[in-house]
Every structure is written in structure tokens, then in C-alpha cells.
Amino acid sequence: MPRVGGESALHVLIRSPTCCLADIEALVESVATESERHALCNAKSTNGTTPLMIAAMSGGRYPAPRAVEMTSIARYLLDRGGAGRTITASAGKRLRAADLAEQHGKVRLAAELRALEAAQLGAWRAEQEQLHEQASGTASLADCSFAAAPAAAPPVRRCTRCGVQLRECKFTAARRAVRSGEQTNPLLAAFFADERLGGSERVMSALSSPALHALNNKREFTREFTEAAAMLFALRRLVSSEAEVGAEAEGRWHVVDLCCGKAFLATLIAVAHPDWSVTAVDLNDEAYLPHFADLPQLSNLRYLRADVLGAGFVGEVAKAVAREGGARTVVLGMHLCGLLSLRAIELAEALPEARGLSLAPCCLPGRRWCPTASWCEPGDHHAKYDRWCDFLEGKLGAAVRRRGDGGDGGPPGGSVDLMRCATCADDEPVVAVEEDAELPPPSCRREVVDAIVSSKRTLLSGVWAAGCG
């Protein structure tokens, strides 16, 4: 059946405000074969939404008349074959039909969907346990990496926790491409050459776990991998700078990864440095992330759900940092959009435990924040981005200087208002450090990492001496 805008005719019909059960029955029964009817009831739009999901979140709260009708439609779809893939299919942020029904006030429908989902996942797990045991002699599916599935494994393998289809491990594929010479990106080559990173079988075993399918299934895997690798190497430079002033580079470190998305960077750090603590911060629901609890190698990673631009954000992170018992802290932010870069600088300066910051600015703030700023002037977008980086470099340099002069780092919430209009200050960076040089504190570095597969390749890093703040 033809699609419009990535949605099938059934998607469009259920979204109609006048849709009723009779209309759905007529459309489904008009399809010629049973297999085609099943496919129609389970069809996904381009963002992963199924007809059952639309019914689950439409019509308002039960028992409103429209909600009653949508509940009847959802149950009909289940009867017509939607109890398989559709139950565990996830939309944009891995919300399933049961989650959507619960969010929209259809409590009984949500309970029915969760029971069916649990039964389906149990059946999948039992089936795949048996297949793995027969093919490889491995009794536990949890022990099986999907980096190299047995030849007899089924063509469609699914996560036994959420039902998402498992594909080949992209970390393993990337290492294979680097070693064969097919992939020549310097960041990826350095990652897989490092015996504490991709050159370690311990690290690769963790990265190929099915629990991390949220990373391995990413469409823009190479871009995110190069971004994370660049930030990881910047973090190592910051940590090594501590050794220059008498502190041990190893030992207890705490990394705060701001706006972590699916925690790609946080995962690499936590796996590579099991003796460090990592706090990944974002506003997404935890269901959006990999299944960290299923992977013992990631017991050092915590997720903090918080609004980075919220009024109490710095205080929330300060509490999380304090729980680490005074561990030296580094703040990271990869591709921070707009004002998020300023908030990262504010956070790093406000935390007494912080020893440095590395951030990669992304898109520019809106003109409403400061319409007269230099990056709002007409001109090439790349030139405006460079001017935005100039401004951030000045702000970071000023923060490093204040900490280097013995500032107390400010109370939780920040003592310096970095979110004010950009034209209110003309800060200059402290001693700039060349890209290939060491980064002795207090100092800052600005570098363009050409190997990042993105148009935004600038990293800004600042470090202050142990004991400052």
C-alpha cells in the first residue's frame, strides 16, 4: 500500500479526528492477503511510529468518548496481528505503545500492552537462548556478544529487554575497517591503536555487548565516533596536565558529560577507565539510553536527568559531584548548541572539584539573545561560527584566570553571570597554547580537529592547577 510522508494509509486514517473503528476495519479488510494485512497493522513510519502507537496516544484520557474509541481501535489492531513487532516497536525516543498509552491516560490499555510485551520478550529470549545454545554451546544469551554471531543464529536478533533488532556491532566493524586500511580516519586509527581503548579486548568486549545496541544502531555512527574520540583525547590531555603539577594522572577522576544524548562519549570513557566515575547528563528519558544496568563494565557510569539551562542545574550537578567524595572533576560538552556552551563554562567554574573543561561549540545562539553580537552580523556561516568561538574562548579564558588567581569557584549556581548579553564583556583568553603543545595550568587551548566528521570541529579546553578554587 503506498505511503505518504513516510506513513501508511492506516497511520493517516488513525490520525484523522473523525476516525472510528468501522473505518479501520474497512481499510484493513480491504487488503488482499493475510500477510499484507499483518504488514499494514505493523507498519512503521520514518520515525518508527506504528498505528498501534498512534491509537495509544490519541483521543485523550480514558473514559473520554474519543479515548474509548481509540482503545477499541488499539485492541482491534492487536487482534489483527499487532501483538508481535508492534508491541515492542519504539518511536523517536524509544517509547513503546504501552508507554504512550500510560502517558495519555489509558491505564488499562497500558497494562494489557505491557503484559503482551513481557510475553513476547520472554518468547524471544527463550527462542534465542535455545538457538545460541545449539549453535555455540553457550547457555546464557547474556554472555554472547553480537560482534560475531554464530552462523546458525537467526537472521533477526532482538534485545531481550526492549525488543529492538540487533545488528552487527559497528565498533567491531570500524576496527576491522581500520586494520584493513579501508578506514583511514586518524582519530579512529588512534583509538584502535591504543591498548587502553580499542586495542584492548576488554574494551571491545564491552562495546560489542547487546546492552549497547542504542550506540551500535546509530545511523551517524562514524560522525559520533570521531566526535567522541576527539573529546576523549582532549580529556586525556587535561588529565595528564595534572601530573605536570605534581598530582597523579591516574586514580580517582570524575567526568561530567553534558548533553550526552545516548551517552556515546560517556560510555567510551567509562569502559576505558573503570577506575573513574562518569556522570552523563541530559534531559532525555532513561529509556533513550543504552541498557547500562545490564553491563557490569559500566557500573561506574551514572545518568543524571536534568535541564542544562534550568535555574537549578548547577546545584543539581554539584550534588552529584559531591557524592563522588571529592574526586577531581572534568566537565565535557560535545557539540553544545547555543547558550549550552556558556552554561558548561559556568558549571566548570562553579564546581570546587573541577580541574578543567573541554567543549565543542555547535550552533549559534539565536539573535534574540544578543542581536548586536558579532556572530549575528551578515556573512558566511563559518565566519560567524568562528566569531562565536572567539567569544567563548574569551569567556573560558576569563574563567581559567579567575580560578588560577585563587577564586573560590563560586557557590552552586555560579558567581559569574555568563548568560548575560554577549556585548557586556570583552574577555580575553589567558596564555594560548599551541595545538600540539602540553597544556600546563592555568591555560586554555583552541584547536580545530579536522578528523572530526562534521562541519563543527573546534574544541576549546581550559585547565587550572590543583588547589585552585
**pLDDT tens digits, 61-115:** 888 888 899 999 988 888 877 544 455 555 555 678 888 888 888 888 888 888 8
Please give the backbone phi and psi of residue 147, each rounded to the nearest 5 degrees, phi first.
-70, -35
Residue 360 · residue 384 · CB < 8 Å: no
For residue 256, the SS3 value is: strand
Based on C-alpha coordinates, what's the Rg of the chain? 25
For 260-343, strand residue ranges (E) read 277-282, 301-305, 328-336
* Contacts made by residues 55-60, CB under 8 angstroms, sequence distance 24+: 55/14, 56/97, 56/98, 56/100, 56/101, 56/104, 56/106, 56/109, 56/110, 56/113, 57/100, 57/101, 57/103, 57/104, 58/14, 58/15, 58/104, 59/104, 60/104, 60/105
Kindly tell me if the per-residue pLDDT of 2 is higher than 60. no
For residues 140 and 460, the model is more confident at 460
**What structural domains does the chain harbor?**
1-166 (1.25.40.20), 212-463 (3.40.50.150)
User: What would the DSSP string read from start to end of 41-82?
Assistant: HH---TTS--HHHHHHHSS-STTSHHHHHHHHHHHHHIIIII
> Which of 120-124, 390-394, 439-443 reaches the highest mean pLDDT?
390-394
What is the structure's pLDDT at 433?
A: 41
Nearest by Cα to 355 from 260, 246, 194, 436:
246
369: DSSP letter: T
Q: What digits encode the pLDDT tens for the residues 168-203? A: 899 999 999 999 999 999 999 999 999 999 999 999
- CB-CB contact of 288 with 262 (8 Å): yes
- Torsions phi, psi of 57, nearest 5? -105, 5
What type of residue sits at position 397?
A: G
pLDDT at 245 over 50: no
Candidates 279, 287, 329, 345; CA nearest to 306 is: 279
Model confidence over 387-423: pLDDT tens digits?
Answer: 899 999 999 988 888 876 665 554 443 444 554 544 4
List the one residue out of 375, 359, 363 whose CA is nearest residue 423.
375
Cell of residue 423, nine digits: 556585548
The stretch 369-375 carries a mean pLDDT of 72
Q: What is the mean pLDDT of residues 21-40?
A: 87
User: Which has the higher per-residue pLDDT, 69 or 155?
Assistant: 69
Q: Which three cell numbers stand for residue 197?
A: 581503548
Q: Is 371 exposed, middle or buried (0-12, 13-18, 19+ CB in 10 A)?
A: exposed
